[in-house]
Structure 1
Amino acid sequence: MNKDGMPPVSFKQRIQHFTWAWFTLPMSTGGLALLLHNTPHQFPGLFTIGTIVYILDLVVFVVACGAILTRFILVPESLTASLLHPTESLFFPTWWLALVTILNGAQLYGYLDSPWLPDALFVMFWIYIACTFIMAVVMYWNLFAAPPTRLTMQGMTPAWILPVFPIMLTGTFAGTIASVLAPGRHITVLLAGITFQGLGWMISFLMYAMLFQRLMLYGLPPPNLRPGLFMAVGPPSFTGLALLSLARGIQPNGYFKAHPDSIPTLQYLADFIAVFLWALSFWFWCIALVSVLHTCRRMTFHLVWWAFVFPNIGFSLITIQIGLVFESESIQWVASAMTVIVVIVWLVVLGFNVRAVIRKEIMMPGMDEDKGGLPEFR
């Protein structure tokens, strides 16, 4: 027995509970590197800090991949179980979200004097689209085809949006790399970006209807799940961000050379639609914040706490871009303050994450997203 009176838990038992939800950590860390690069009030050394955070993200991602691969090697059947589990499977898309933040960061921190980098990102862009679109179809089909006892309206959380989130971020990925691509590739990337950003946004909007129904009929989720409400901040934020970046990434060739007046028209539309979407994000942010503050003393750490970070990175980024588009110094200072807050929150959540591992509050039997899955092993 341990000092706390509990039976000892082996490494094999703990690694069995290294779930897909752990990729919310590199997902948020990579997003933080993007935010530091884009924050409006730069100072000497900030690019270096951002580079360090980006490298840290790469390290964390590789370690997380190694840990979950170890789990699947030790217990091969846990791979299938993780992808079919009604809760853990919803976090499989965070692997792809962590990957796309790395790809976006490669454009910003990868030193574009490397002639091969734009070509590599172009190839990865299409691979990413193919994989995440297939994932969005298969995961939702699996949820639709599953017995109705697996997911219920009372148990609905914003995590139901996650299967479509990676393909939705195609828009921000396209906006990041479009400016460095050749004209022939540029237009296809822009069209793919707006196509799949639209797909992700429309499915997310349908999920919002179910979220409203769940909240109206059953009230707020339990205290430990309330940080997940911040996930609802992400889709409108990243969609507005994608619209702004894609509209300003248009080059006057092909269709846009034949219709030059469409370029400023699309940019004006993107500007004001982004403001509409920002307002929706802000409303969700307020609801999530009040819900968390109302019950924060009863909350214990779970990996869903990283929802405090990643969606709010998108919220901060769209605020930054709106401030730049409308040339508002006040909005840019608000965005800078938001960046500082996100950095502080990232540090706090990281501290609680490490503390939870040390105190055996996560990566333990019956305490993670795979609860109720495979039987324990030694």
Structure 2
Amino acid sequence: MPLANRINGYSEKDSAPRTDERDRNENEAGRSAGVVVSLRGRLEHFTWAWFTATMSTGGLAVALAETPHRFRGLDTIGLTIFILNTTLFLLLCALMTTRLLLFPHRFKHSFHHPTESFFFGSFWLSIAVILCGTQLYGVSPTRPWLIPALRISYWIYATISLLNAIQQYWLFMRRAPAKPVPMNPAWFLPGYSAMLTGTVASIIAGSQPPEHRLPVIVSGCAFQGFGWLLSCIWIGMYVARLMESGLPPPDVRPGMFIPVGTAAYTIVALIGQARAIPPEHAYFAAHPGAAETLQTLALFVGVFLWLFSFWLFAVAVLACVAGIPEMGFTLSWWAFVFPNVGFAVATVEIGRELGSQGVLWVGSGMTVGLVVVWLFTAGACVRAVVKRRILWPGRDEDKDM
């Protein structure tokens, strides 16, 4: 089997292009053969990858809250999407619980399955964007209790996301010698969930009291450093595999956007954390000028990383455009949204720090593009469920379980 077809952990049979005509033929063949899959049977194939939908929808709400050029009603639209995403997250949690009760063996196996297991990180990323959305849409003078609640939630999330990153990579390393698994963009997700702790810190820190703000900023910087350095390892392996073996199958090429968010969310975290520094508290009171120095450093590190994000973005765009004729829907399509949320918000943050209207307009344009892509992906996801392209035996991340 060609290595190019194994890059995302798919077999040659599973990764073969699925055009509309092929899907129609499969569905017609299934109907003519009397194949019926019950709701219970379809829920058997409900995988962790479904949480990519909530991490992307929640990310869109964050992008709308951060976009600089606003109009009347935009806050209401963003709040509506945030509430929709929270409701959807609870629904997905209920469906995953149903899978646990009905198919406990498959649920247990999902945590070390070579393809599905890495998507467990999308569950934690969904929680991260809900925490960010709660800060952006919920914190107000009439709800002061949300400030300590978010701080406590932050520390809980930081602890669990780090433990999750340790255990997921440990399980993978422990079994890798017995059964090697080809590099695939989903490898980023466990580290992503820990890295987003830094992004959450940058968003909630500004509203925290100074005595609590500094620990949040320092820990957020540590988590961002951990996530970014880990991502650098995966990016090196990912690019080397692309150069050696070519592009992955068209169906899973949207996953190539995942690395875009590693540098982008690092920009967001560093600039946000530096902006939230309390200049007259603790270390910064004893070192006048340190806060301003770190803010300048954060901005130019952000500029330093931005073009690298753009390069990863451009490669992913070209790969997806080249594969359009043969690209069938998979849940990896949600990667069109979430990583690029970080890219758009990073652009906005750089524009704010530079005071550049040109850069801010680029960020606003990117946000509009995210809305269009989200609508397209959401529609394609619903259509794929109806057309039995996902949530169907042999067509999801658990296909070889």
* TM, length-normalised to structure 2: 0.91
The counterpart of 2:86, out of the listed 53, 58, 65, is: 58
Secondary structure at 1:120 match in 2: helix
Alignment of 1:304 onto 2:332: yes
The equivalent residue for 1:376 is none
**2: CA distance between counterparts of 1:294 and 1:201?**
29
The equivalent residue for 2:198 is 171
Structure 1 ranges of 4+ moved more than 4 A: none
Alignment of 1:277 onto 2:305: yes
The equivalent residue for 2:14 is none
The answer to whether the 8 A contact 1:171-1:194 is kept is yes
Aligned-residue identity in percent: 45
Distance change (3 Å), C-alpha of 1:277 and 1:135: same
The equivalent residue for 2:102 is 74
The equivalent residue for 2:15 is none
The equivalent residue for 2:395 is 367
**2: CA distance between counterparts of 1:148 and 1:296?**
36
Amino acid paired to 2:299? D
**1: CA distance between counterparts of 2:206 and 2:198?**
13
In the TM superposition, residue 3 of structure 1 has moved relative to its aligned partner by 3.7
The answer to whether the 8 A contact 1:238-1:318 is kept is yes
The equivalent residue for 2:149 is 120
The answer to whether the 8 A contact 2:65-2:78 is kept is yes
Alignment of 1:180 onto 2:212: no
The counterpart of 1:11, out of the listed 39, 57, 62, is: 39
In the TM superposition, residue 206 of structure 1 has moved relative to its aligned partner by 0.8
The equivalent residue for 1:229 is 256
In the TM superposition, residue 39 of structure 1 has moved relative to its aligned partner by 0.6
**2: CA distance between counterparts of 1:237 and 1:151?**
30
**2: CA distance between counterparts of 1:4 and 1:234?**
44
**2: CA distance between counterparts of 1:337 and 1:230?**
18
In the TM superposition, residue 76 of structure 1 has moved relative to its aligned partner by 1.4
The equivalent residue for 1:109 is 137
The answer to whether the 8 A contact 1:306-1:349 is kept is yes
In the TM superposition, residue 294 of structure 1 has moved relative to its aligned partner by 0.7
In the TM superposition, residue 116 of structure 1 has moved relative to its aligned partner by 1.1
**1: CA distance between counterparts of 2:32 and 2:100?**
30
Secondary structure at 1:85 match in 2: coil
Q: Which moved more, 1:347-356 or 1:213-222?
A: 213-222
In the TM superposition, residue 220 of structure 1 has moved relative to its aligned partner by 1.0
The answer to whether the 8 A contact 1:27-1:310 is kept is yes
CA RMSD of aligned residues (A): 1.2
The equivalent residue for 1:33 is 61
The answer to whether the 8 A contact 1:21-1:369 is kept is yes
**2: CA distance between counterparts of 1:6 and 1:365?**
15
Secondary structure at 1:84 match in 2: coil
* Paired residues for 1:305-344 under 5 Å: 305-344=333-372
Deviations 1:98-148 (A, max 9, x none): 011011111111142212101111111111011011111111011111143
State the aligned residue count.
371
Deviations 1:201-240 (A, max 9, x none): 0000011111122112111111111111000101000001
Amino acid paired to 2:95? A
Amino acid paired to 2:209? A
The equivalent residue for 1:245 is 272
Deviations 1:293-317 (A, max 9, x none): 0111101000000000000000000
The equivalent residue for 1:348 is 376
Deviations 1:61-116 (A, max 9, x none): 01111111111111112221110111000100100000110111111111422121
The equivalent residue for 1:87 is 115
The counterpart of 2:185, out of the listed 127, 143, 158, is: 158
The answer to whether the 8 A contact 2:112-2:172 is kept is no
Alignment of 1:198 onto 2:225: yes
**2: CA distance between counterparts of 1:278 and 1:159?**
22
The answer to whether the 8 A contact 2:340-2:370 is kept is yes
**2: CA distance between counterparts of 1:93 and 1:213?**
24
In the TM superposition, residue 371 of structure 1 has moved relative to its aligned partner by 1.2
Amino acid paired to 1:33? A
**2: CA distance between counterparts of 1:194 and 1:288?**
28
Amino acid paired to 1:121? L
The answer to whether the 8 A contact 1:86-1:150 is kept is no
In the TM superposition, residue 323 of structure 1 has moved relative to its aligned partner by 1.0
**1: CA distance between counterparts of 2:62 and 2:154?**
18
Distance change (3 Å), C-alpha of 1:369 and 1:2: closer
The answer to whether the 8 A contact 1:157-1:229 is kept is no
The answer to whether the 8 A contact 2:45-2:396 is kept is yes
Alignment of 1:220 onto 2:247: yes
The answer to whether the 8 A contact 1:168-1:196 is kept is yes
Secondary structure at 1:361 match in 2: coil
In the TM superposition, residue 17 of structure 1 has moved relative to its aligned partner by 0.6
Amino acid paired to 1:262? A
